[in-house]
Structure 1
Amino acid sequence: MVQHDTSSSSDENTGPNIPDIPAKGISTGKFRLVGWAVDTTGRRLIDEIVQIAGYTPNDTFSQYIMPFSDLSPFYSRKHNIRVFNTIRYRRLKDMRTGQFLKTKSEISALTDFVQWLEKVKGDAEGVILIFYELKKSVPGMLLEALRRNNLLERFEKICKGFANGYSIAKTKCQSSTKTHNLKVMVQILLGRENIDSANANDRASAVYDIAVHLAQGEREEIEGSTNKITTGTEPDLIEMVCPYTNPISAEEEEIEGFKVLLQRQNTFRPVFRDFLRASASERQHASRLRRLLAMNNINYDKLKEAYEQGAKDGLDKILKEEIANAKEEDLNELLDILDRYFDPDKQPVKPKTPWRNNKYNRGPRPRSFGNRRSNSRSKGNSDSKGEECVTDNNTSTEINTSTDNTASTETSPRSEEKVKVEVPTD
């Protein structure tokens, strides 16, 4: 069973899905480079692919996939698409053109993609898929989707690994530019101004062209050759890409390690339960603190044992000794949250009020109307409070009522009837 983080998929800044581990590289061979890009519903392993695209100079592939879940507002704006639900069907719509898109199921689209890769491979030893991401997540998502649909074994016979174009561009252009995102690289290296970064098909072609441009530049500097790279199988291009390629086996090892990390991270859900139910900023902050603990091999049981042995000092010791990559303010916040959670005599740390966190709500907090009791209609035409006393030989009753010019069955809490009954003792 696939383990996954349960935080919101709209939390884009919660960090990469797969830890950023350098590519192991593969030996140079007769491979074919294919530009590849996907649009997804999120960055978790459980999220789905909405569009998958591939590019070579001689052939292209692009297919939309109907996801089981709806897109969050963040990813709907990012990809400019939206899921429309009706009683009889679900459809995917392009928000810019207003047209409905032709979609397939996940298994049909992935089967077509694998068949297209088999055709593109031809007589080469294998295919290298090059993508472009600052924080790597899509290779793991593709492998999980292929595993769900029993296509992974067939895919492994075709694809030799994944190469991150961002790592290549950052290494080759480190001295010339400080920003290496896709749009900037397309403008600087390719001279294009109108790239549609929201479309996976355009990104796939741009990633391929950037790799070709960098390889062509190295060839001209070293050999002085002016022959252009046209097929994607040229030795100079493959030789440049292979050191940045992570083989399929290494990607699967990273996925398994990430699942273990998620299991360790999810042990802290009782501690951060209130934060994960709060606003998006609070969820992101709590996810970052949980990941900080999990990445340093700290789980819930370990912290509980430390508190039972040394109370707050025990927690402080284990946090400072085993977390070396954290800021002091994060350690102090973690210590306060954990100490208040494990100590039953202290009040747990609560997230900030969502109303105050919302940048659009700058006015006063709306009035909170509690349960009100309706009294009998007001009597009389007086604007001031009246007081009636009813007495007899056995009881004394004092009634305070509020009256106004209009009859009402509901009054404010201060003007409710107050009845005081005194029973004489013998």
Structure 2
Amino acid sequence: MRLNKFVPSAMTRREDYTYKNKNTEMTNNSEEQQTSSSTEETIVEVVIQPPTPEAKVEFDASPAVITTQPAQPMPEHDDSIAVVMWEATVTGRRLIDEMINLGSFYVAQEEKAEGHDFNEYVMPYGKLPLNVIRNYNLRIVDTGRYRMLKEIRNNRMLKSKSEVAACNDFASWLIKLQKDNFPDKKIVLVFFEPRHSKILQLFQALERFRLLDDVNKILLGCVNGWDLLRQQVHDLKDEHRMVLKALADHHLGVDTPLESAVQRAQALHKILRKVHGGRINTGVLKENLISCDHLLEQVKKIKEELTKEAQWRPVFADMFRQGIKPRRRAGFLRHMLVESGITYVGLTETFKDKKDDGVVEVIKENIKGKNEADVEEVIKLLNQHLAQPDKPVRRGSGRRAPRTRSLCTATDLEKQQPASKIEPEENNNDPVKVIMDVIPSTPAVLSEV
């Protein structure tokens, strides 16, 4: 059987071609309709209006010129001021701490002027703290009969005086310096410290020893060199690097001595002179001047705050006898009470009338904006103390108890021994025995043989 292949005729080919053409025309028409609709939607008419006369005036106006303010010039040099550097070595930052070394330095602004320095050591009543021994190379030698200051590195004994004599010598040196070198000028003391602690100790000592009236006649005020260098030195912006050692290493050299107070005063003078361009600008010092009355007011204010803190001593006495963490905590809580204005006497009277509820009311009324845990701890401590004022509050510190001697007494030892072995005590206060010991015995007369 023979199979016949299907061969499409010409009619079928023509129909397929016409069908394809119709489909392509329909697709083209649909695309044209879509593009026309999209173009109609996106076309926006823009009408350009002629410029108004006001706009012409603004366009024709010249552009504004930005002017910068000129830098403020440096103040002029004041010839009525003499700059004297002052430094001290102290045992701490409190007013109760002691001064160990007083040093001062003065040199005229001329290039080849002779310098005048003052350096004296003071024998402190207490022991030197460890930071003073390490930083300033000093220690106290106690022989039993007398005490001496000694330099550890040079193994040299230092001549020291009392605080009264050292302050008197410093005041006399300032008066003589002003009288001999610049009788028509006033003195400005320049010190260097971020906190005004050393200079306050000096003014407290001068006021205590009645030397401040004589010093105020020649003293115009004080200037903190730390503030001056912080404003003008731009390469040491960090405050922790704004110490005299770092500044001396940067400007003067690594081997600059800074152990004694007079050496630090000389280094401060050289640094200020270099920063100011070879001559210390006294006009800048006058702008940053601190008056003597202001320093005395600060001393008075600190003493008043210490008096307010002392009234809370019975409450926090036990915490201050413990380690460093309880002591810091006690200081923080005590400062919070002092800052609020609550007095110990008033709180005691409130506790007698209203007991614990009265203490809670007073604390929450006066202490606001503080942490609730701190307020609750203060309330707990006050209630425990006021309930039993004679019994201190005990808190565990984790420290080892101090070693004590044996509690065995002499009577216990006597009970352990038999009565026959106990020797009676010798009575040295017997008048008959004392007289017999004093009167010498008459020598025997030897007969000649």
The 5-angstrom pairing of residues 66-85 of structure 1 reads 66-85=123-142
- How far apart are the structure 2 equivalents of 1:123 and 1:326? 56
- Tell me the residue number matched to 2:244: 182
Aligned-partner residue type, residue 103 of structure 1: S
Q: Is the 8 A contact 1:65 1:104 kept in 2?
A: yes
Provide Cα deviations, 1:217-255, integer angstroms capped at 9, x if missing partner. xxxxxxxxxxx21xx5xxxx2221223322111111111
For the structure 1 residues 295 and 120, does the alpha-carbon distance in structure 2 shift closer, same or farther, using more than 3 Å as the test? farther
The 5-angstrom pairing of residues 282-321 of structure 1 reads 282-305=326-349, 307=351, 314-315=358-359, 318-319=362-363
Equivalent position SS for 1:246: coil
- Tell me the residue number matched to 1:162: 222
- Tell me the residue number matched to 2:81: 31
- Tell me the residue number matched to 1:138: 198
Deviation at 1:187, TM superposition (A): 3.4
- How far apart are the structure 2 equivalents of 1:238 and 1:46? 33
For the structure 1 residues 298 and 204, does the alpha-carbon distance in structure 2 shift closer, same or farther, using more than 3 Å as the test? farther
- Tell me the residue number matched to 2:208: 148
For the structure 1 residues 105 and 349, does the alpha-carbon distance in structure 2 shift closer, same or farther, using more than 3 Å as the test? closer
- How far apart are the structure 2 equivalents of 1:325 and 1:164? 35
- Tell me the residue number matched to 1:108: 165
**Structure 1 runs, 4 residues or longer, greater than 6 Å off:** 368-371
The Cα RMSD (Å) is: 3.7
- Tell me the residue number matched to 2:10: none
Provide Cα deviations, 1:32-86, integer angstroms capped at 9, x if missing partner. 1211111123333233211000122322211111223332344333432122222
Q: Is the 8 A contact 2:252 2:271 kept in 1?
A: no
The 5-angstrom pairing of residues 260-279 of structure 1 reads 260-279=304-323
Equivalent position SS for 2:399: helix
The 5-angstrom pairing of residues 290-369 of structure 1 reads 290-305=334-349, 307=351, 314-315=358-359, 318-319=362-363, 322-323=366-367, 329-344=373-388, 349-353=393-397, 355=399
Aligned-partner residue type, residue 134 of structure 1: P
Does residue 241 (structure 1) correspond to residue 285 (structure 2)? The answer is yes
- How far apart are the structure 1 equivalents of 2:289 and 2:396? 44
For the structure 1 residues 76 and 279, does the alpha-carbon distance in structure 2 shift closer, same or farther, using more than 3 Å as the test? farther
Does residue 41 (structure 1) correspond to residue 91 (structure 2)? The answer is yes
Deviation at 1:311, TM superposition (A): 5.4
For the structure 1 residues 332 and 175, does the alpha-carbon distance in structure 2 shift closer, same or farther, using more than 3 Å as the test? farther
Q: Is the 8 A contact 2:87 2:103 kept in 1?
A: yes
- Tell me the residue number matched to 1:203: 264
Larger Rg computed on CA atoms: 2
Q: Is the 8 A contact 2:318 2:392 kept in 1?
A: no
Which residue of 266, 273, 288 corresponds with 1:212? 273
- How far apart are the structure 1 equivalents of 2:216 and 2:229? 26
For the structure 1 residues 338 and 105, does the alpha-carbon distance in structure 2 shift closer, same or farther, using more than 3 Å as the test? same
Which residue of 91, 95, 104 corresponds with 1:54? 104
Deviation at 1:306, TM superposition (A): 5.2
TM-score normalised over the length of structure 1:
0.65
For the structure 1 residues 128 and 289, does the alpha-carbon distance in structure 2 shift closer, same or farther, using more than 3 Å as the test? farther
Show structure 1 runs of 5+ residues with no match.
1-27, 217-227, 359-364, 375-426
Count matched residues.
324
Answer 1 or 2: higher relative contact order, Cα 8 Å, separation at least 6: 1
Deviation at 1:267, TM superposition (A): 0.1
Deviation at 1:327, TM superposition (A): 5.3
- Normalized per residue, the structure richer in helix is 2
- How far apart are the structure 2 equivalents of 1:307 and 1:171? 52
Provide Cα deviations, 1:364-406, integer angstroms capped at 9, x if missing partner. x99x9999x99xxxxxxxxxxxxxxxxxxxxxxxxxxxxxxxx
Aligned-partner residue type, residue 86 of structure 2: W
Which residue of 254, 267, 271 corresponds with 1:193? 254
For the structure 1 residues 270 and 116, does the alpha-carbon distance in structure 2 shift closer, same or farther, using more than 3 Å as the test? same
Deviation at 1:195, TM superposition (A): 4.2
- Normalized per residue, the structure richer in strand is 1
Provide Cα deviations, 1:146-182, integer angstroms capped at 9, x if missing partner. 2333322111112222222222233334785122232
Aligned-partner residue type, residue 175 of structure 2: E
Provide Cα deviations, 1:101-140, integer angstroms capped at 9, x if missing partner. 1222323322222222224332343211111222221122
* Greater mean deviation of Cα atoms: 240-249 or 163-172: 163-172
For the structure 1 residues 215 and 148, does the alpha-carbon distance in structure 2 shift closer, same or farther, using more than 3 Å as the test? same
User: Between the two proteins, what is the percent identity of the paired residues?
Assistant: 28
For the structure 1 residues 305 and 79, does the alpha-carbon distance in structure 2 shift closer, same or farther, using more than 3 Å as the test? farther
- How far apart are the structure 2 equivalents of 1:349 and 1:38? 40
- How far apart are the structure 1 equivalents of 2:243 and 2:374? 29
Equivalent position SS for 1:112: helix
Equivalent position SS for 2:210: coil
- How far apart are the structure 1 equivalents of 2:80 and 2:159? 36
Deviation at 1:328, TM superposition (A): 5.3
- Tell me the residue number matched to 1:98: 155
Show structure 2 runs of 5+ residues with no match.
1-77, 108-114, 414-449
Deviation at 1:330, TM superposition (A): 3.9
Aligned-partner residue type, residue 103 of structure 2: A
For the structure 1 residues 370 and 85, does the alpha-carbon distance in structure 2 shift closer, same or farther, using more than 3 Å as the test? closer
Deviation at 1:92, TM superposition (A): 0.6
Q: Is the 8 A contact 1:265 1:299 kept in 2?
A: no
For the structure 1 residues 178 and 273, does the alpha-carbon distance in structure 2 shift closer, same or farther, using more than 3 Å as the test? same
Aligned-partner residue type, residue 271 of structure 1: V
